[in-house]
Structures are given as structure tokens and as C-alpha cells.
Structure 1
């Protein structure tokens, strides 16, 4: 459930902070007050598109924060698997927009747009002003039946998606191997050449790094030798004032002085240890420099080996592991080309077997869809009757697409007839704008019983609706709100009267800047707002009394 919305510097909103409640939250206000901007800010926070001028004039950034309270254990488990733990069942989603860029965070942790949309899909379902138009596209219809039948087909769809992926891999592999005899022989010759070139190199994993270090040393051998000769001179006993010379003198001096003071033996032993270390150092240094004598020959060998490895890298992979992997794959391909008939026959059998698996899963998926479509159609028809479609027929038809996909082979479409004696036809050929909004509401009300999503938002679901139909729409929204949190923007008094929590969105201006604000109305203020919607500019006692009666009637209608 959406507990709190905080918006700052967003379009004409300076700063808004609003707490939403359970059941039906109604948002009303004058035309142009910014009602849709409020819903738009929620959309943006959940990963929606950002308009260029979305940051309030004069501000450096825009910010939207949403606080959700999650009760569903399944959703909490999913969030935990995504490494987004919800402390006390709460998560905060924020999006900060700066100069065309944005940063999205969940509980303070930055997330990608993909992760944000995945999580948003678990928490909230937003029905925008134009979403009902999506009912005109058949692709949406199949999505709707799949949502309705999710608990029955979820595992089948996952299995089918996995098997279809394997089917495509096999088909691509088979197509890649389909070549004429001349080309096959050329491929065999080419693969043999590449395999021999790699194998003859006798590559060892990690040797390029060792050779690179060796090359670095040998190519700087002259500099190293000159430097070490200087070090040897400084440490040896052969040059006056060298470290060895001074240590030797120190040994002799202490040896004589011990004749006069036995306590100097400790210092004498220490200098003897130092002399031993210096002798060991000089010996090791001499051996190292003698090994550098053949550096030009070693450099040539190392350079040639590195050139060979780098040549292979340019052809087969960025490192030795990749080169050896390429060789292994080439050997498999060579074996397939050399045993072409057997390989093609085996792959063809595999492909046929995989196609049968996909067919079985698609058949099973299609059967369940058709069965659940009957149930869904009946429920939608019932909901449509509730929404004042008095003589309506509604059904879903299925046709095969003629090919398999990761989603089976079904092409589904909703058909409807809204008038007596009228032939049942596709939605796109029958329904008006107002009818489409009610049909979408009917579908949403049916899906609400199946959905785990706790919060539903309807932005002007009342398009093209009035009179008795408006009352029916308000009752349907109230019914959905019995098991979900619903946020609804409306211009209709019948819907506003049904509010469990009523919010007014207002726009004010000081002549320089314009601000949008939102506040929760008390009972008497809600009645005044309903009266404003009913009566317009002039609110008479009669209008006010009608508003009170509508509010009272709404209370008796609710079933929670």
C-alpha cells in the first residue's frame, strides 16, 4: 500500500507531502489544478518517462519519493531475493531528476531502471487517462487472460519460454551447419589450419603474463646492468669508501678493541652478521648480473614468443584462455563437419523432439487459456452489467498464429455487443471512448481479485460517463477498494461521494509563480467539494443538500 507521497520542484509543484489511506482515496480539484501531475509524479518515481520541462522553473532538481507498506509475504520474499530487504515491511522509492539525468533509489540503494520497473510492477497498477485505448490492440487481450490465469499457467509459460529458447538455439545451429559439399570441405580445411596453428603454439595459460614481465626485464637489461654495477661498487670490498670497505674496517677495529673490553663482543657479533649479509648480497648480485650476459639472445627468443601469442590473440581471442576455448569449439565444429550426415541427422532429431515439446506445452497453455477465458468473459460480463451495460454480450475468441513462440501460438481477441440484436464484434469496431473506460474498469475489477498488487490508481476512469452510469462506476470502484487501496482522480460527484479519504488538489498564484497543493478534506469539506462539482460556480442550499445526500447514500452502499 502507498502510505506517503513527497514531491518537490516537480512541474508546477513547489513541495507536496501527502499521506494516503486504506480503501478508496479520491482526488478532485478544478480543471488545470494539477491532478494529473500528482499521478504523473508517481509514474516518474516508478521509472516512467521524464518530460524535458519537468523541473520547476528556478529549481536545480526535482524529487519524488514514495513510501510503501507491504503486507504480502510473497512480494517481501521477491524483494529479499532482489537484495532489497523491506525493514518492517516498508520501502522508500525515490527518483531525483537533474539536467535530464536521474538517480533512482530504493531504501537508499541506487537501482537500475529495469529493477525499478520490476519492483513497481509488484506494488502498484496505474491506469492512466489513455490506457483504456490499449484495449483496441489484440496483444493486450492475451496479456489480460494470462494475468487472470496466472496461477494456472505461470509455470507452463516459464517452462515454454525456456524450451523455446533451446528450440531456437538448435534451429540456428542446424541452419549454420547447412552448407553444400564444396563449402563443407573448405570449412574443414580452414578449421584444420586454425586448430593446428593454435596447437602447434603449445600455449600455456598465464605464460603471456610471465613473458611480458620477462620482456620488460630483458629490454631494459642494459639499464639494469649499469645500475647493478653501481650497487655492486657501493657494496663491495674492492673500492675505497664502499659499504663493504667500511664494514671491513669496522670489523678490524672492534676486533682490536675487544682486547680491552669484553663487553664489545656483542657489537662485534652484530657487525659480523652484517658482514655475512653483505657478502651474501654481493654474491647474489654477482650471480644475477652474470645471468644478464646473454640478455640479447634471451630477449630475441622472448620477443618471438610474445609476437606469436599476440598474433594468435588478434585472430582467436583476447587472452590465452579464450584462444584455447576457440580451439576447443573449432574441434567440435570440425568433428561435426567431418561427420556431417550423422551430425545433421542428430540435430534434426533433436529439433523435432524439441518442437514436439513446445507443441505439447503450447497445446496445454492454449487449453487452459480457453477454459479460463470462458470464466473471465462471464465475470467481465457480470461486471459490465454492474456498470450499466444492460444488455451486453462479451466473449473471447482464439485463433492459431500459425507459428510457435515463447508465448505459445494463440492469437486472442475480445468481442462485445452492447445493444440488443447487435452482432458481437471486436472491441475496436464497437466501443466508444466512454464504453472503453468502463470495459477497462470491469476488467480491472475482475483482475483485482486475482492480483497480488495492493495499490491501484485510476486517472479519470470516468471519461464519457454520467448519470446512473456514474453511480455504477463509483460502486464498482468501492467494491475494488474493499480488498485494495485505490487512488482515483475524478470529476464526477457520484465517485467523489464514495471516497473513504477525500483529497483536494488546488492551484494558487501570487502573480509571479504558480503552485499546486494537496490536502485531505474533513467530512464537511468533502461535502462542500462535492457540491462544487455538482453546482459549479454557484452553490445553493439545494445543491449542498444534494451533496450531503450523495455522501450519505454512498456510506450505505459500501460493503466494508
Structure 2
């Protein structure tokens, strides 16, 4: 509920403080006085896009602030708290400033917030109905949304489940379509993987084989250099280089010399011990080098064979890996991917199975949703038809048709059509084709009354109607005013009106007046209200007959 509103430098309004009734508040005033500015201030608080042209001429910025009443546990209050704002004594304070040159600023609960937060909060606090909303009533999507809003928690939960399932179904459809569009690329990948695995099966490589072949080729390709190096080393070690003394004998002689000297100094004995170890090593290496020489033979055929094998392996693995060992590791991944791409449980098969299963679940939810809507449509059309009878459309008939389609949308398989029979015996025609502006206004009002009385603890607690009475007058205007008053028994109602028959039903009347380029807003009661109603009736606030008529009208506009 909107408790109060403060406006500074908005259009023709330099300063205004408004307090609204928790029931029915009528906002009146002559055409051009500035009633639209009051509505604009509320729209700014509800997150509507700012416009610097709204700033009063000669001022640097406009400011609007509203105090809304909402329980601490309510969704709007929790949104403010989550945004870092403060909610005290069930009051939500929203504020907006718009600079003549520069950006706007939004505040909720004393905290600066994005305007999107105001939109979220506002959508839960207030619903505004104007000419645009009446035009929206002509659309099937709005008619479906209104029917769904008549449903209670069970229906809303079902709709939520359907939408979640629909998103899953759409995603699976997109994934499968992408999979099928990539069929040719997958077939090429399958062929590549099979070719690589086939080459491995044919060549039977093993881990480390490439390094082993490189070492072998290096050895066989340099056999003469190896023989010369080994022979020279062996001659030094064995003493076959001409002087007849092998390295081990020379080291042995050195050991004997050190041992003799060691009788006088133990340090020499330590040297001798170290040389004994060296002598043993020399003898072992000499024997190994000799054996190496005896085995070192040139083998051109083995060299050719090794080079050929290395070439085969490298030609085989290069399209798949940087070296042989990496290719062997690649094989495991390739087998797994090949199974995914072409096996009986490949991704395409899984997607088709999941899509079929999800589609079946979607149809089940959709069928239940359709049955719910058909039941709700019967209930709502009776209530709306009854309300229309009280709005001077006694001979009219109202009908809600739920038509199912084989193709789902985010809201189910259904299309909803509101139909209006304008007179007895006349055919029922969709409101999108045959309803006038005045009829649309009354249908919208009848719907809101029916919805509000159905959902007392749900939905938005405040309805604002802008020119809801356009195109009507006389007894019809009185009936509209009465319905607004009845709606206000369940929720807060604020109406911008030019009809005295509507304003007379209000619990509180606020009048926008304009002098020169300065507008103000004030509450009128008693004689002042009678004068305002008289002005609305006859254009003359002090006309005796108009005043008498105004008093009579105000007196008669009371709910029994």
C-alpha cells in the first residue's frame, strides 16, 4: 500500500505532499492541471525509465519519495533487505532523483540501488492500469496471464514446473539439432580415430620404442668412430699400446709405493686404499670395453631396418600426437571418444531418449495445466459476467475459451480467448475484435474486482487506474465507481478520473490545481469536496444547482 508521496520539481509541480487512503482515493483536477505528473512520480518510484524532460524548468533535478506499507516477511520487503536497505515498522521507503543533466539515482530503504531493483519491488507493490493496459487486454498473452493469475498456489506451482520442464525440453531440442547438424564432422572424426587406432594395431609400437630406435640408429650409423674410440681406450687400459704396461699394473705399482711410505705416515696408506678400488674398477672396465669391441660389428641391414621402422612410426603418429609415447596415450582417449560418437549409447541416442522422455513429461504437465485452466475459466467468466451486469452491461455475455495447440510455448499448450456478446442474441466475438474503449475499461475493471476478491492474500496490494472511466458516463459511470469502491474493500485503489460519478465513491479525494505554471495537490473534504464535485458536474464550483447535485451524489455513493 502507498501511504504517502513527496514530489519536488516534477513538471508543473514544484512541491507536493500526498497521503492516500488505504481504501479508495480519487485524484481529480481540470485537464492539464498536472494529474499526469502525480502518476509519473509513482512510475519513477516503480523503476520506470527516467526522463530529464520531467525536471521542472529552471531546476537542476527532481526528486520523488514514497512510503509503502508492506509486511517485513513480504517479497518486496525482503527484496529491499537483500539489496542492503532497511525496512522499519513494515515501511518501505523508495526514492528517485533525476538530474536535468546527468544520470538518475534510485534508493530503497536508504540504500542506493539499480533502477531494476525498484522495478522488481514496484511490480510486487503496485499495478497500474491505463489506456495501454486496456489495449493489452486485446492480446492473447495478457488474457492467458489474467486467467493464470486467478489460479492459486497449486496452479502457480504447476505453471512453474511446466516452465522449468519446457526450458529443459527446448535445451535438449537445441542440443540434438546441433548434434545432427554436425553429422558430417562427426563422421570424419570417426574415420580419423579408426584410422589412427588401426595403424597402432598394425604397427604394434611399445612405450619408449622411438627413443630406443634413435639410440640404435645413432650407434649403427657411427660404427667406425665407436670402434676407434673403444680400441684406443682398450689399448691404454690393457697396455697393448707398445710399452707393455697396462693401466692396472701401473696403478698396482703406485699402491705398493704408497704402502711402503705408509709405514711412516698413515695418510699415504689412505691413498693406497683408494687406489686399490681404482685398480679394480679399471680391470672391470677394461674387460667390458674388450667385450664391447668383440661385439661391435657393422650391420647395414639392421641400420636400414631401424631407420625404416622409425620412419613408419613417425608417419603414423604425426597426425595424432607429437611423439610415439603421446600417441600411445592418445589411443585410450580415441577409443572412448569413438564409443561416444558411434557406439549404441552415443550422445545422439542419449539426447533422443532424453528428449522423448522430457517431451512426454511436458505433455503430462501441459494436460494437467489445461484441465486447471478450463476449470478456472468457467469460474472466472461467471464472476466477470456478474460484475459486467453491475456495470450497465446487463445484456452482455462474457466467455473465456481455452484452446489447446499441439505445439507448446513457455506457458503451456493453451491459447486463451476472451469473448464478448454485446447484446442478447448477438454472436460472441473476441474482445480483440469487437470491444470498444469503454467496454474494455469495464471488462478490465470487472476482471480486477474478480481477481482481487479471489486472491486477497496474494498479488499486488495497490491498483492504480488512469482514465479507467474513459468513454463512459451517467449510470455506467456510477456503476464503475461502485465497483471501484467494492474493489477498495479488499485492496488499495487509486483512480485518476474526470467523472464526478466515480470520484464521489472515493474515501479520499485529492485535487490537482494549477495557477500559472505552478501546480499543487491538496485533499478536499466537506464543502471543498462538494465544490470540486460540482465543478466536475457543471464546470462551475459555486453553482447552487451543481452544489445541490454534488451533495446528493456524494450522499448516495455509499456502499450498503
Tell me: CA distance 1:185–1:472, structure 2 relative to 1, closer, same or farther (3 Å). same
Q: How does 1:136-215 map to 2 (within 5 A)?
A: 136-178=138-180, 182-187=184-189
Tell me: CA distance 1:182–1:50, structure 2 relative to 1, closer, same or farther (3 Å). closer
Q: In 1, are the aligned partners of 2:534 and 2:547 still within 8 Å (CA)?
A: yes
Q: Which residue of 2 aligns with 1:379?
A: 383
Q: Does 1:547 align with 2:554?
A: no
- 1:80 and 1:332 map into 2 onto residues whose CA distance is 52
Tell me: CA distance 1:521–1:330, structure 2 relative to 1, closer, same or farther (3 Å). farther
The one of 434, 442, 450 equivalent to 1:446 is: 450
List per-residue Cα deviations over 1:27-82 (Å, max 9, x = no partner).
11111001111112111221113335111111111211111011484436743774
Q: Which residue of 1 aligns with 2:63?
A: 63
The one of 527, 530, 537 equivalent to 1:527 is: 530
Tell me: CA distance 1:176–1:492, structure 2 relative to 1, closer, same or farther (3 Å). same
- 2:555 and 2:120 map into 1 onto residues whose CA distance is 41
Tell me: CA distance 1:529–1:180, structure 2 relative to 1, closer, same or farther (3 Å). closer
Q: How does 1:256-295 map to 2 (within 5 A)?
A: none
Q: In 1, are the aligned partners of 2:65 and 2:96 still within 8 Å (CA)?
A: yes
Tell me: CA distance 1:491–1:59, structure 2 relative to 1, closer, same or farther (3 Å). same
- 2:192 and 2:73 map into 1 onto residues whose CA distance is 58
Q: Secondary structure at the match of 1:428?
A: helix
- 1:377 and 1:181 map into 2 onto residues whose CA distance is 52
Q: Which residue of 2 aligns with 1:537?
A: 540
Q: Displacement, 1:476? A: 0.4
Tell me: CA distance 1:439–1:533, structure 2 relative to 1, closer, same or farther (3 Å). same
Q: Displacement, 1:486? A: 1.1
List per-residue Cα deviations over 1:483-524 (Å, max 9, x = no partner).
211111111111121121111101112xxxx11110111221
Q: Displacement, 1:86? A: 2.2
Q: Which residue of 1 aligns with 2:92?
A: 91
Q: For structure 1, which segment, 33-42 or 169-178, has the greater mean C-alpha deviation from structure 2 after superposition? A: 169-178
Q: How does 1:402-481 map to 2 (within 5 A)?
A: 402-449=406-453, 450=455, 451-481=458-488
Tell me: CA distance 1:150–1:331, structure 2 relative to 1, closer, same or farther (3 Å). farther
Q: Displacement, 1:340? A: 6.6
Larger radius of gyration, structure 1 or 2? 2
Q: How does 1:187-336 map to 2 (within 5 A)?
A: 187=189, 336=340
**Gapped regions of structure 2 (runs ≥ 5):** 196-332
Q: TM-score, normalised by structure 2?
A: 0.70
Q: In 1, are the aligned partners of 2:158 and 2:365 still within 8 Å (CA)?
A: yes
Tell me: CA distance 1:338–1:68, structure 2 relative to 1, closer, same or farther (3 Å). same
Tell me: CA distance 1:469–1:174, structure 2 relative to 1, closer, same or farther (3 Å). same
Q: Secondary structure at the match of 1:404?
A: strand
**Gapped regions of structure 1 (runs ≥ 5):** 194-328
Q: Displacement, 1:181? A: 6.1
Q: Secondary structure at the match of 1:410?
A: strand
Q: Which residue of 1 aligns with 2:22?
A: 22
Tell me: CA distance 1:120–1:334, structure 2 relative to 1, closer, same or farther (3 Å). farther
Tell me: CA distance 1:330–1:381, structure 2 relative to 1, closer, same or farther (3 Å). farther
- 1:444 and 1:191 map into 2 onto residues whose CA distance is 65
Q: TM-score, normalised by structure 1?
A: 0.70
Root-mean-square deviation over aligned CA pairs: 2.5
The alignment covers a number of residue pairs equal to 418
The one of 506, 517, 521 equivalent to 2:520 is: 517
The one of 493, 500, 503 equivalent to 1:496 is: 503
Q: How does 1:2-151 map to 2 (within 5 A)?
A: 2-71=2-71, 73-75=73-75, 78-79=78-79, 82-83=82-83, 84=85, 86-98=87-99, 99=101, 101-151=103-153
The one of 464, 487, 490 equivalent to 2:494 is: 487
Q: Displacement, 1:188? A: 5.1
Q: Secondary structure at the match of 1:136?
A: coil
Tell me: CA distance 1:502–1:190, structure 2 relative to 1, closer, same or farther (3 Å). farther
Q: Displacement, 1:128? A: 1.8
